[in-house]
Structure 1
Amino acid sequence: MDNESLVIFVIVVLCLGAVLIMGKEKVPPRLKRGMALTAVILIALAFIFIIYSLLA
């Protein structure tokens, strides 16, 4: 796996999580669950990719 694209992905995902946490009051209630679920899945994938790159 390309380390440069992995680093970019991790940075973008962590920034997305931070933006969702800081702006959660401005999101319509019907979109909150979907956005939170998407952010959790992306952050989990980022950590899985980090562990995979350390073990490979």
Structure 2
Amino acid sequence: MDSLVIFIICAFALGVVIILSKNNIPPKLRRGFAIVAIVMVAVAFCLLVYSFFSMGL
């Protein structure tokens, strides 16, 4: 459970950092970073929803 919480925090933090620093990222890396951040945030959201349902809420 602790590793899940750490992953969720890191995924959302990465998404925020990429959104806030989108002008400083080189154009070649911008699309790759955005795709990785979207995938990580989507997985974190799915794991968060799954953990709520598996706890019996």
Normalising by structure 2, report the TM-score.
0.89
What is the percentage of aligned positions where both structures have the same residue?
43
Unmatched runs of 5 consecutive residues or more in structure 2: none
Gaps of 5+ in 1: none
Higher relative contact order (CA 8 A, sep 6+): 1
How many pairs were matched up?
54
Distance (whole Å) between structure 2 residues aligned to residue 40 and residue 13 of structure 1: 9
Q: Which residue is equivalent to 2:14? A: 16
Q: Determine the C-alpha separation between the residues in 1 that align with 2:12 and 2:53.
A: 21
RMSD over aligned Cα, in angstroms?
A: 0.7
User: What is the TM-score when the length of structure 1 is the normalising length?
Assistant: 0.90
